[in-house]
Amino acid sequence: MADTSHDNVVAHIARTRFPFPGQTTWPDDYVTLTNVPTRHRGIPSPAGEHFPDIVIVDGRGRTREIGEVEMAVDVSAVRHLRAASAAADDDTVTGVKHFFLYVPCGLEESAQRLLEENAISYAGVRGFTIGDDGAISIVPYVTPGDPYDHQ
């Protein structure tokens, strides 16, 4: 999948998942930012500033939630996935970080294993599909953060 596919998936997720339709728990002061195609909000990482695909900030400017879209599951992503998780809050019912990882459908199990084998806290792993007509669908895979988010 081309970079435009990645950016289209990021835009779709930001528009439809943060918050998702009908979500009653989304704070009024949360703002959803994307870092594609233009960078808006970075986070610290051992390799320098990292720009997660989706960053949710509150009215005081604090990073609350982060979403990353990976087109492949690869150990080379561990560094920035760990940084993204670390930058998210842990205000979930189970205490895990408010970090969501989105991968093409079929890669969810590998993504979950990558996170868990590297002790990266996460609130959800999601699959996505892109139809021939460009329609994007999100499929919840696992949600250790809050059962309410598993939709």
Per residue in 126-144, pLDDT (tens digit) is 999 999 999 999 999 999 9
Listed by start position, the domains of the chain span 3-149
The closest alpha carbon to 31, from 51, 60, 74, 10, belongs to 60
Of the candidates 54, 112, 127, 104, which has an alpha carbon nearest to the alpha carbon of residue 84?
A: 54
pLDDT score, position 150? 66
| Percent residues over pLDDT 70 in the chain | 97
| CATH 3.40.50 fits domain 3-149 | no
Tell which wins on pLDDT, 146 or 61: 61
Q: Are 63 and 41 a contacting pair, CB within 8 Å?
A: yes
pTM to 2 decimal places: 0.95
What tokens appear for 127 in the block? 């699959």
The pLDDT value given to residue 11: 97
What pLDDT, on a 0 to 100 scale, did the predictor assign at position 50? 96
Average pLDDT of the chain is 94
**pLDDT on residue 74:** 95
Q: In what order do the strands lie in the sheet with 136-142?
A: 31-34, 54-57, 63-69, 99-104, 124-130, 136-142
pLDDT digits (tens, 9 = 90+) for 19-48: 988 888 899 999 999 999 999 999 999 889
In the structure, what pLDDT confidence band is assigned to residue 1 with cuts at 50, 70 and 90? very low
Which sign, positive or negative, has the C-alpha torsion 37, 83, 150, 125?
Answer: positive
